[in-house]
Amino acid sequence: MPPHRPHVLCGINAEYMGERIMKGQALADASQSSQTAKRIMEINHRHPIVDELRRRFKENKDDKEAKDAALLLYEIAALQSGFSLDDTNSFAARMHRTMKQGLNLDADGGLVEEEAYAIEEEPEEEEDEADEEGDDKEEEEEEKEKEKDVKDEL
């Protein structure tokens, strides 16, 4: 991949359109539907994500977070290139694990307890509007009093 590209991965495939047409044909027979285009993926080895993954795999070949990240990179490149994923549930599970890691949440943590999820109720908008109307009336009365004072002085 040329050094001027900021992307981590790039999926390129000239045969993809043929595969897509074959999958879309209503009368395609079973032998044609099993043919798939060769997927080619370019990796930008100078990208910081790739460099970090290389470092992590070098330290620990069984690093689950690094494996998830590598698989996500592949699946994202496939999706960006127009391919469909064979197992969207696994993709979603990896995305959720990655989001939890990014938010510093326990990967195995369950739902938040009802008591811990208490939301303080804010005053309703009607009360706020009533307060604003009351403030407006007070300001109007003050202005009228000032006008009266000015007239009395004249």
Q: What is the mean pLDDT of residues 133-137?
A: 64
Q: What does the alpha-carbon distance between residue 37 and residue 45 come to, in Å, rounded to a whole number?
A: 25
Q: Work out the mean pLDDT of the chain and round it to a whole number.
A: 75
Q: What is the pLDDT of residues 112-128, one digit of tens each?
A: 777 766 777 776 665 55
Q: Is the CB of residue 5 less than 8 Å from the CB of residue 44?
A: yes
pLDDT of residue 48: 92
Q: What is the mean pLDDT of residues 74-88?
A: 87
Q: What does the alpha-carbon distance between residue 78 and residue 47 come to, in Å, rounded to a whole number?
A: 18
- Whether this prediction's pTM lies above 0.75 is answered by no
- For residues 103 and 33, the model is more confident at 103
pLDDT of residue 38: 67
Q: What is the DSSP letter of 3?
A: T
